[in-house]
Structure 1
């Protein structure tokens, strides 16, 4: 624009110039004014539009919330160190440099506790502003309940949320049960589950590896480098080998399954606040041709694709997810009555995907791939009372962005985590995402296979 202004000024002093100087000045002024007005309007619109799920539906009152949360940042669930040293069943066998080993396999990182606590502070302030357990006082004894299975990472995640939401308070209703998310085998057939996963992957894992996931797999191959000889043998490749050497077929996911855990572990390294040279040994930016945060999102396509195919097909979703959705529905029923206004279930990404598959939920959160389940994030099943007195359910996904976790950012309604409203395809929800509780109960009950639901024994630590 300023070049136009300068050229017009020069033209006005030249003989034969046919650009009216005042006309150009007026035009440039109007262009500048319009740009300013547009920028101000856009900024105003951004301020006026709250992030998804943060505002109360018009005329509704919040009755309670059930949070189905994933655990926070953890170490690799597979052993990092090889024991014996010649073993190929460890992370160190899948790279030419040792992996960092901060905690025991699968345990929550100290940074994982801290990031989950940030979300806990947000949940307390956010829902208090909406009228739930308002004020800074401790909740009544029966107002809040926390549940975890027997995994260390879910127990500590539940504790982090409790500590952050109700510091210094006695919360008698918290329990740990190894089987809280499990039920009877109910005829689960791994072969049928594998075929369902292959179908959701597009019918062929090999086609996916050569198509949609080709570039992310190439970036992971470059970042990991050569495998150990034992790592090659463990994954059906001949040494020397790398991720690109691992066989894949229509039925066998090969490198897709193998790269899933390392790709997510790179994300967890960065989310824990590690500097770029300590994430993927400083190789991922060059390997992907992207700045590190975007590179992590890029290679996360592998993990998101594989987990979606492995856990969201109806067959395995119902067989594995029925106990989980049954607990959520039971908690909502209790909240609608005289039960706790807040119930928290600390769980795992596969279980969240199982429930999503049962309810046909879809989402994409900022900095993540579609249906990716970020560490520490949660689906909030909110129970609202409409202005007409009807109980309504709204589903909202909350999770910190990759950058928020890396920076250990403070969260609030002014600086919220990423969020997304999750419409229920089987329920006619409006823009506010509300579904009548009676209809949600029907949808969930029809999705649950009673034969797959057990009654876990609960114990308080």
Structure 2
């Protein structure tokens, strides 16, 4: 064999590798994070007064009392939310989205619903992300159309449509759906009912209801879901195992077996197309408007009145803090689902959030990244700080022409927004943004 062949082969391989390396580098542009709109659930709370009434009547026993007033954010819940917010803000500073010191008016805006638990969670975000800066939390003192299901009576046709959508989600028959869930129902019954004592909610057949405003409820399932939610909150609060599920859950794995009825409630009452459009269109419309903002002054209306107060603040990080039902409506409108860790499918844990990020590549293309993130059951219970070694659970939204990149799943910006916008009903109310 010619002695020159190995040398020529090596030279050829080197030559071929040069354009390939250049092409690979060109195919992986740098990405810059331009804007974030985030919708978070509030942190850990005790059961609300209404839920306590349901679960105690349904089980005919007293449930453990909490030190915190019913329905309000606990100190433990504040700290868990604080840890998550600190982790997020550190990431955004590393990515260049936020300044190293206190933010300016163009950097951040925090908006919470009218509830104490959402406002206190937003205050935890402010304190963790911008310590000592006094970044205010904005909230209305009255009913907020941004987060509320519209008031007013639904028409007979609307109510019937919602009922049919619920039946379709149930598989066509409520009692058959209840039968399919018997293993999950039995597991919850074993945990919350006393032996040889009445536990009425487990003996009564479920009943499908459509309220005057068009909202859907399932009597029986709603109470069972409230029980499961209360057990998860007690675990998250780091209550002694003897007080969680009446000493029937000694690990996160055991607790997770008692939670699937939360998913059933979402599936059959909240994650319905018409309910989501009615309950989530206002908020999703504001999210889309915020993502489109370019840092330009708001235009004047036809009568010359400035519209700045009717648009989301044009900031780099816009945070809304609300309830799980708000996130449920949004995820239904954008066709998104997840299953994270030991949580059942579609679970929306305390302080979890749905995040919309706008990115720009070095070649000028814009992208949208959407993901859901949460702390694990044990991260919240043990107040474990999220870190690169123990990160938040993240599930990425997948839309048309999305691709995996070094910064996450990125989707063509205009295409993704078109997919989202087609599911938004034109809002019938104006949303104003208070300023301090």
TM-score w.r.t. the length of structure 1 is 0.75
Which residue of the partner structure matches residue 435 of structure 1? 411
Whether contact under 8 Å (2:55, 2:226) holds in the other structure is: no
Count residues in correspondence.
377
Which residue of the partner structure matches residue 279 of structure 2? 320
- Shift in CA distance, 381/219, structure 1 to aligned 2, threshold 3 Å: same
2:65 pairs with 1:106: no
2:352 pairs with 1:387: no
Whether contact under 8 Å (2:59, 2:199) holds in the other structure is: no
1:296 to partner: Cα distance? 2.1
Query: Match for 2:122 among 133, 144, 158?
Result: 158
Query: Match for 1:69 among 32, 35, 40?
Result: 40
In the alignment, structure 2 segments of 5+ residues that lack a partner are: 1-27, 210-216, 298-313
1:100 to partner: Cα distance? 2.4
DSSP-derived class of the 1:299 partner: coil
DSSP-derived class of the 1:302 partner: helix
DSSP-derived class of the 1:104 partner: coil
- In structure 2, what is the Cα distance between the partners aligned to 1:276 and 1:173? 35
Structure 2 matches for 1:367-446, cutoff 5 A?
A: 367-424=342-399, 427-432=400-405, 433-446=409-422
Flag the structure with larger Rg: 1
Query: Match for 2:161 among 192, 196, 211?
Result: 192
Structure 2 matches for 1:330-341, cutoff 5 A?
A: 330-334=289-293, 339-341=314-316
- In structure 2, what is the Cα distance between the partners aligned to 1:280 and 1:300? 11
- In structure 1, what is the Cα distance between the partners aligned to 2:79 and 2:109? 21
Query: Match for 2:147 among 181, 184, 188?
Result: 181
2:188 pairs with 1:220: yes
Which residue of the partner structure matches residue 179 of structure 2? 210
Whether contact under 8 Å (1:205, 1:253) holds in the other structure is: no
Query: Match for 1:149 among 108, 113, 121?
Result: 113
| Structure with more of its chain in strand, by fraction | 2
Which residue of the partner structure matches residue 11 of structure 1? none
Whether contact under 8 Å (2:42, 2:118) holds in the other structure is: yes
Which residue of the partner structure matches residue 260 of structure 2? 301
- In structure 1, what is the Cα distance between the partners aligned to 2:137 and 2:293? 14
TM-score w.r.t. the length of structure 2 is 0.79
Whether contact under 8 Å (1:182, 1:323) holds in the other structure is: no
- Shift in CA distance, 134/412, structure 1 to aligned 2, threshold 3 Å: farther
Deviates more, 1:69-78 or 1:99-108: 99-108
Which residue of the partner structure matches residue 56 of structure 2? 92
- In structure 2, what is the Cα distance between the partners aligned to 1:245 and 1:458? 48
- In structure 2, what is the Cα distance between the partners aligned to 1:272 and 1:453? 39
- In structure 2, what is the Cα distance between the partners aligned to 1:184 and 1:281? 38
- Shift in CA distance, 159/390, structure 1 to aligned 2, threshold 3 Å: same
1:436 to partner: Cα distance? 2.0
1:168 to partner: Cα distance? 0.5
DSSP-derived class of the 2:355 partner: strand
Structure 2 matches for 1:53-64, cutoff 5 A?
A: 59-64=30-35
Whether contact under 8 Å (1:96, 1:226) holds in the other structure is: no
- Shift in CA distance, 298/266, structure 1 to aligned 2, threshold 3 Å: same
1:169 to partner: Cα distance? 0.5
1:184 to partner: Cα distance? 5.0
Which residue of the partner structure matches residue 310 of structure 2? none
Whether contact under 8 Å (2:338, 2:395) holds in the other structure is: yes
- In structure 2, what is the Cα distance between the partners aligned to 1:158 and 1:172? 9
- In structure 2, what is the Cα distance between the partners aligned to 1:365 and 1:272? 19
1:104 to partner: Cα distance? 3.0
- Shift in CA distance, 215/121, structure 1 to aligned 2, threshold 3 Å: same
Alpha-carbon RMSD: 2.6
- In structure 2, what is the Cα distance between the partners aligned to 1:295 and 1:192? 38
Whether contact under 8 Å (1:64, 1:341) holds in the other structure is: yes
- In structure 1, what is the Cα distance between the partners aligned to 2:423 and 2:344? 26
